[in-house]
Homo-oligomer: A and B are copies of this chain.
């Protein structure tokens, strides 16, 4: 274990000297605002909160922190779900709130260069004027820096990929205060080691992203939506496989289980049946493509024994159809007043999805736990949402979490499809990676020998 030094008044002064007095705060209120994310993980107080405005400022702080052995935890906007940005070892909390600008739009290249603190929804609002968008969408208005650091994904990954697939170039501040550039604005690059993808998803433990050039895609001119109910999970998943194999290139392919569909209907009267349900979305440059595509999807669903099939290319109707999916979390929360939620995340190869879903149903029934399943089925990714109101029900959901993770690993999957490792998944890393975890550790130690960068994450402690 690394040992760290406290943030002394002298260090606070030094930070003020580097960043300006108004960029450094030890106020209790600000420390508390940056002590926990949106998950169940316990709050931890940093010793100082800072708001750099330039890459050089970030680098200068790291150099100081590295020399003085002070932990630095980067912070986007706190929407993490595994404690990824909780400052568990205290030290410096580095907020990117003031580095939230668009640096340059390269419209002809379908690229934009941004500071890491910009929210992806805010970015997309700006880009809409140019008919472009940055596709990864984890739901909340996460910052681009946080999305890249955690390789966030979301609903549209099945077509557009995760965050790691939508970034070309980054500027990164290393633990020792060097600023490096990784990747290239050239789409193709076969030049040396892919440090870009080493840093993406490393949760701020190898370096801190200070600027990123993102890939953009044209806003689709035409979209369609489908909701389909199936007699069994198997039928629903076979439909997922068939739609992916058809070449129809869905932009979303989402699953909710019968329990979740029932809850959504009962809570808000949304027009769903109590069956395993798929939501789909298709994007196309031409309306004719959508119409013929929907016919093909209808045929596939019919072959798989669909119980109910609704499809539309009308924008208003599309929103209605997707309402339940887009608002499923809020509806769930509203329908369980006085309860908190623990949301877990695993992913498996698509062929193992029915077995994973069946397993979750089995163990939650066995333990009498309430659980809702909602998944990015096109990616083999599922979230199990556990409401809890007591320490006992929380403990039970944690136990079930562990069982489901180990099942996903046994099925050739991963402990985390899109929420990252953070604190919560660290203990499963040896099971998922084996000796490769030692290689990760070697790389960590070689780039951050004093362990100042977001300590307590990814690697199991103790």
Contacts and interface: CB of A to CB of B under 8 A. Distances in A.
B288 A288 contact: yes
A190 B421 contact: yes
Interface string A184-195: 111111111111
A110 B446 contact: no
A315 interface: no
A188 B285 contact: no
Contacts of A381: 186, 188
A186 B150 contact: no
A350 B108 contact: yes
A284 interface: yes
Contact of A245 (B218, B220, B419): B218
A289 B206 CA distance: 45
A454 to B, nearest CB: 13
Interface string A99-119: 000000010111100000000
Given A201-B193, A247-B221, A443-B446, A187 B347 contact: yes
A152 interface: yes
Given A174-B439, A436-B182, A189 B288 contact: no
Interface residues of A, number: 95
Interface in A443-462: 443-447, 458
Interface in A167-198: 174, 178-182, 184-195, 197-198
Nearest to A432: B191
A348 interface: yes
Contacts of A296: 285-286
A418 B202 contact: no
Interface in A12-70: none
A9 interface: no
Interface in A136-170: 150-153, 157, 162, 164-165
Contacts of A419: 190
Contact of A349 (B109, B202, B351): B109
A426 to B, nearest CB: 9
A458 B192 contact: yes
Contact of A285 (B157, B248, B434): B248
Contacts of A432: 184, 191-192
A185 to B, nearest CB: 4
Interface stretch (A323-331, A364-372, A396-404, A408-416): A408-416
A189 B349 CA distance: 11
A83 interface: no
A432 B195 CA distance: 13
A318 interface: no
B197 A198 contact: yes
A179 to B, nearest CB: 8
A91 interface: no
Most chain B beta carbons < 10 A, residue from A189, A379, A432: A189
Contacts of A433: 180-181, 191-192
A131 B241 CA distance: 14
Contacts of A194: 151, 164, 194, 197-198, 200-202
A288 B194 CA distance: 40
A437 B151 CA distance: 24
A408 B108 CA distance: 17
Contacts of A192: 201, 421, 429, 432-433, 436-437, 440, 458
26 contacts: A106-B351, A110-B245, A150-B190, A157-B187, A180-B436, A181-B433, A181-B436, A182-B436, A184-B414, A184-B432, A185-B412, A185-B413, A190-B420, A191-B420, A191-B429, A192-B429, A192-B433, A194-B200, A195-B439, A197-B197, A246-B285, A285-B293, A286-B292, A286-B293, A288-B288, A442-B446
Given A190-B201, A248-B285, 6 more contacts: A186-B414, A187-B349, A189-B347, A193-B201, A218-B247, A288-B288
Q: 9 closest A-B pairs (Cβ-Cβ)?
A: A247-B285, A197-B197, A188-B417, A108-B351, A180-B436, A186-B347, A446-B446, A186-B413, A151-B190
